[in-house]
Structure 1
Amino acid sequence: MTCRYNILLFNGFSNHCLANMVEPLRAANTLSRQSLYEWRFYSLDGKAVQSSSGLIVTPHGALQDQCGEILVVMPSYGYLALDTRETIRALLSAARHHAQLAGLDTGSWLLARAGLLDEYRATIHWDELSRFEETFPSVEAVQERFVIDGNRLTCSGAMAAFDLASALIRRDHGPLLSIEVGHLLMSRGVADPYALPLKSEDTLVNRALAVMQANLETPLSIRDVARKIGCSQKRIEMRVQAELRTTPQALYRRLRLNLARKLTEETEQSIAEIASRCGYENASAMTRAFKAEFGRTPTAFRSGAPN
């Protein structure tokens, strides 16, 4: 099921914040080969808006009567001038047509003014936190990069918008896709452009990932992976399940198939060569695993043919 984000922009919005919210969603669609997310841009009156750096965005229309899963309120600079009856009326109306409300950067201020953050934990750009806390005592203001409190989402600025988007992908579709999105958008200094240096927040899982990623062409047993990092197979299985909601075997297979997908997309190597590089004895075995994971054979994937 596709989750729809309706993004309400105002003059002076931060296009850095906008990109950091939308690009992870786009990357999740790309990596999953599914339309997990869609997004539309709106302004209060349907007219074009200009970002703080001069980027002009022509919205899909006016916010009025739009509905979706998440309404994202994104002002930024000059937000106090937007604190008007017209804005508050529009937000109260829109809130009835969206399951979740998000305030990015100073968007929290407008949601709070409409009473839509009362009794919720929320954050705002830290430069405005003291004034926010004093003005809206019914809101539990906290100095955090982002806050997800039930169906209210807030973040403190442009860089935090990426963290929030990643957390939402993790919540909706699991930690592994969120980690892969982070790698796709933030990788740097990778010696092998086709390696996938995924990272977890768990040190032991990271060590297991490092061993797996170093042994894609000649896969090890999970027992051997555990031996290399000095722990038991059972402990690896428990930690990977707790952190990534999958088994070490499935994780290892995902790493090998992600490599196969990148090689299929970005090189002209034969399917047999790719299979060998990804630890499969023959092309047929890899093709079956590839289709089970991505819904298409490597040949169809490479040609762009449908499922």
Structure 2
Amino acid sequence: MTQLRVSIVLFDAFSNMVLACLLEPLRVVRDQNGLDLSWTILTEGDRPVDSSSGITVAPDMLKAEAKSADLVLIIGGDVFRDHHKASAMRNSLDPLIRNATVIAADTGTWILARCGYLNGRKATLHWQLLDEFAETFPDVQVSSDSFVRDGRYWTCGTAAAALDLMLDYIRSRFGPAVAMDAGAMFLHDNARRYGASFPGQSFSFSASSTFKHVLQIMSKTLEQPVPIAQLAQAANMPERSFHRLFLRELHMAPGKYYLLLRLARARELLRHTDLTRGEIALRCGFTSASTLARSFRTHHGISLREI
């Protein structure tokens, strides 16, 4: 079973929204796929810290007692310009991040930079701080991208960017199928209309209306899937261009994405209805329960009985 250990380091006046956008996709991955995934809350100064909205969060343990993590989330808050604590901060962070991928969100990027971790690296943070950040840390290559990956240091600014970044991390570690499931949980309006398996943040915010229209067609035709050639016609583009579009936006072929939508819907029906597996298979475009079961095991690595 895949294992992921996460340490979350919170600083004074951190954003609840940023924390949720980083943590909730991981929670969905754990709950939906039965993975061995856990997290530990740590804080600046090993004391309770208040979020920007006044919610107090206490640490699970002292940072010095925390075990080695695979992923460390650094979530900065409104108090981040104090450079006098840089040495002590680095001493407390070094053991935590030594062998981990580090995601710094909001002003977490500023904290990493003041500790010297980002020297010579590319990074980003909240757009309102980009110019000040560039002046303060000339050794960091400042980017205006929504999120940046440079080696094991990943950085972002807003909550929306944090969600995109986390889904990208999930995609790289667990695969596109798991990332699609996690992203689908966060598109509220279309989830209510088309079902929770409708794709949410699995494609970029800049995706064209034509592309989004094709995704809607897919979500509404799970029982009788439309041929890919017909979907390409609906997008008014050649099949080859249609294929490249999906590779760019979703990192997978359109046929595979269509299949994953059907499997996601099948899982929902298995969990939340009394339909037989045969009935669920037909509702999701499979010829039989055995065909559905084989496909699910192939793409998710577990049997339907494990759902």
TM-score, scaled to structure 1: 0.81
Q: Distance in 2 between matches of 1:296 and 1:106?
A: 39
In 2 relative to 1, CA 211–50 (structure 1 residues): closer, same or farther, beyond 3 Å?
A: closer
**Is 1:138 the equivalent of 2:152?**
no
Q: Deviation of residue 274 (structure 1)?
A: 1.6
Q: Deviation of residue 74 (structure 1)?
A: 2.0
Hey, what does 1:180 align to over in structure 2? Answer: 181
Hey, what does 1:127 align to over in structure 2? Answer: 128
Cα deviation digits, residues 239-267 of structure 1 (max 9, x gap) = 54565454444333322221111111122
Q: Distance in 2 between matches of 1:148 and 1:113?
A: 18
What is the aligned-residue RMSD (CA, Å)? 3.0
Hey, what does 1:15 align to over in structure 2? Answer: 16
**Is 1:214 the equivalent of 2:220?**
yes
In 2 relative to 1, CA 9–126 (structure 1 residues): closer, same or farther, beyond 3 Å?
A: same
Which segment is superposed worse, 12-21 or 165-174?
Answer: 165-174
Hey, what does 2:90 align to over in structure 1? Answer: 88
Q: Deviation of residue 142 (structure 1)?
A: 2.6
In 2 relative to 1, CA 82–104 (structure 1 residues): closer, same or farther, beyond 3 Å?
A: farther
**What are the equivalent positions in structure 2 for 1:225-264 lying under 5 Å apart?**
225-226=231-232, 229=235, 236-237=242-243, 239-240=245-246, 243-264=249-270
Q: Distance in 2 between matches of 1:238 and 1:142?
A: 26
Q: Deviation of residue 238 (structure 1)?
A: 5.3
Hey, what does 2:193 align to over in structure 1? Answer: 191
Q: Distance in 1 between matches of 2:43 and 2:140?
A: 26
**Amino acid across the alignment from 2:74:** V
**Amino acid across the alignment from 2:104:** G
Structure 2 residues without counterparts, runs of 5 or longer: none
Residues 44, 62 of structure 1: 8 Å contact kept: no
Q: Deviation of residue 116 (structure 1)?
A: 0.9
In 2 relative to 1, CA 206–54 (structure 1 residues): closer, same or farther, beyond 3 Å?
A: closer
Q: Deviation of residue 51 (structure 1)?
A: 1.8
Q: Deviation of residue 119 (structure 1)?
A: 0.7
In 2 relative to 1, CA 83–126 (structure 1 residues): closer, same or farther, beyond 3 Å?
A: farther
Residues 76, 107 of structure 1: 8 Å contact kept: yes
**Is 1:47 the equivalent of 2:53?**
no
Q: Distance in 2 between matches of 1:118 and 1:21?
A: 24
Q: Distance in 2 between matches of 1:75 and 1:241?
A: 34
TM-score, scaled to structure 2: 0.81
Residues 45, 61 of structure 1: 8 Å contact kept: no
SS in 2 for 1:68: coil
In 2 relative to 1, CA 247–63 (structure 1 residues): closer, same or farther, beyond 3 Å?
A: same
In 2 relative to 1, CA 82–9 (structure 1 residues): closer, same or farther, beyond 3 Å?
A: farther
Aligned length in residues: 299
Structure whose alpha-carbon radius of gyration is higher: 1
**Amino acid across the alignment from 2:106:** D
In 2 relative to 1, CA 282–69 (structure 1 residues): closer, same or farther, beyond 3 Å?
A: closer
Hey, what does 2:111 align to over in structure 1? Answer: 110
Q: Distance in 2 between matches of 1:82 and 1:18?
A: 24
Structure 1 residues without counterparts, runs of 5 or longer: none
Which segment is superposed worse, 217-226 or 47-56?
Answer: 217-226
**Amino acid across the alignment from 1:193:** G
In 2 relative to 1, CA 22–215 (structure 1 residues): closer, same or farther, beyond 3 Å?
A: same
In 2 relative to 1, CA 102–209 (structure 1 residues): closer, same or farther, beyond 3 Å?
A: closer
Runs of 4 or more off by more than 6 Å in structure 1? none
Residues 270, 280 of structure 2: 8 Å contact kept: yes
